[in-house]
């Protein structure tokens, strides 16, 4: 029986053996608690039929836990120095494939098709590097990859923002963008103490369950996300002020106000009070307007 990679002692042995030093620029924080790792894997509901995508495997601590259950694991690692370490630590798991590439530049769909069985149950299970969490998640969601669920470790504050509902301070354009594609929930929080080196912030496990179709119908996804972002540009300003600025080349402020009132939306409300359905209505109403200009 191989010893878990994720114990403090084994992690130190591996890092010493390869003379590895952490790169702050890559946001490297390795987990050293096997219990937390198995809880992450459990949250993804993996079976022996599952495939797993991992981003930033580090020295393979989480990869190992996924590989113990799932049929195959596909990991993307940006740091060249970790490739020989992963080859060594994951040698007992022949079902793992490590690709040395920045996932933001990778053709994930193509790699999935080459590695997983057609129609295989696939989950993303990853401890994401904090400095690029949002771009990675949005890439995976926007590309509409055939992934059932994503269970990811990220900064607690970002997890709260993604899972937030209307009326809360954390709710914003990121909440709406993520929840358009997936149902979002924070599964549990993770203390700084289970990492080496310790990050400055607490972490959380976020579960994103892919929706079969978006919860709202919009005439243009691109325009919908633009309207949402514009509405939150200055959080303290009213919806009217933010949208008037966004539409300033085509509509004057009184026209924007009149359209909002015609939809029973008070122009004095702030964006954080609006539901996704209300944003969809605004998008569809103003989309006609934009097309008539």
What are phi and psi for residue 153, nearest 5 degrees? -95, 130
Exposure b/e, 41-59, CB count within 10 A at least 16 = b: bebbebeeebbbbbbbbbb
Q: How far apart are CA 281 and CA 263, in angstroms?
A: 8
Q: How far apart are CA 24 and CA 4, in angstroms?
A: 25
Give 201: exposed, middle or buried? Use CB within 10 Å, 0-12, 13-18, 19+: middle
Answer yes or no: is 143 a known binding residue.
no
CB of 194 closer than 8 Å to CB of 33: yes
- Number of Cβ atoms within 10 Å of the Cβ of 243: 25
Query: Alpha-carbon torsion 139, 71, 3, 87, what sign?
Result: negative
Answer yes or no: is 56 a known binding residue.
yes
Answer yes or no: is 266 a known binding residue.
no
Answer yes or no: is 82 a known binding residue.
no
CB of 178 closer than 8 Å to CB of 208: yes
Answer yes or no: is 217 a known binding residue.
no
Answer yes or no: is 31 a known binding residue.
yes
Query: DSSP code of 117?
Result: P
CA 94, 148, 120 angle in degrees (round to 5)?
45
Q: How far apart are CA 59 and CA 280, in angstroms?
A: 43
Give the up-direction half-sphere exposure of residue 265: CA atoms within 13 A in the CB hemisphere. 26
**Among residues 116, 106, 119, 118, which one has the least CA distance to residue 51?**
116
Q: How far apart are CA 259 and CA 284, in angstroms?
A: 11
Binding residues: 29, 31, 56, 77, 102, 127
Binding residues for S-adenosyl-L-methionine: 29, 31, 56, 77, 102, 127
């Amino acid at each position: 029986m191989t010893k878990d990679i994720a114990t403090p002692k084994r992690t130190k042995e591996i890092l010493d053996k390869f003379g590895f030093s952490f790169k702050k620029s890559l946001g490297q924080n390795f987990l050293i608690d096997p219990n937390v790792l198995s809880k992450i894997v459990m949250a993804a509901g993996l079976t022996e039929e599952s495939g797993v995508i991992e981003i930033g495997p580090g020295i393979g601590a989480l990869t190992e836990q996924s590989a113990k259950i799932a049929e195959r694991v596909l990991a993307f690692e940006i740091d060249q120095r970790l490739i020989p370490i992963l080859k060594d630590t994951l040698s007992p798991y022949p079902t793992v494939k490590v690709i040395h590439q920045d996932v933001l530049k990778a053709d994930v769909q193509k790699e999935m098709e080459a590695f997983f069985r057609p129609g295989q149950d696939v989950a993303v299970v990853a401890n994401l590097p904090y400095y690029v969490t949002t771009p990675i998640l949005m890439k995976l969601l926007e590309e509409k990859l055939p992934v059932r669920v994503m269970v990811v470790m990220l900064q607690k504050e970002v997890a709260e923002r993604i899972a937030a509902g209307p009326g809360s301070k954390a709710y914003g354009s990121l909440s709406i963008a993520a929840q358009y594609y997936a149902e979002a929930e924070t599964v549990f929080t993770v203390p700084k103490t289970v990492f080496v080196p310790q990050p400055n912030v607490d972490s959380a496990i976020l579960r994103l369950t892919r929706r079969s179709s978006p919860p709202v119908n919009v005439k243009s996804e691109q325009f919908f996300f633009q309207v949402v972002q514009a509405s939150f540009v200055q959080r303290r300003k009213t919806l009217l002020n933010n949208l008037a600025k966004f539409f300033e080349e085509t509509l004057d402020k009184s026209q924007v106000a009149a359209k909002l009132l015609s939809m029973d939306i008070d122009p004095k409300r702030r964006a954080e009070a609006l539901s996704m359905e209300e944003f969809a209505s605004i998008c569809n109403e103003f989309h006609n307007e934009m097309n008539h200009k």
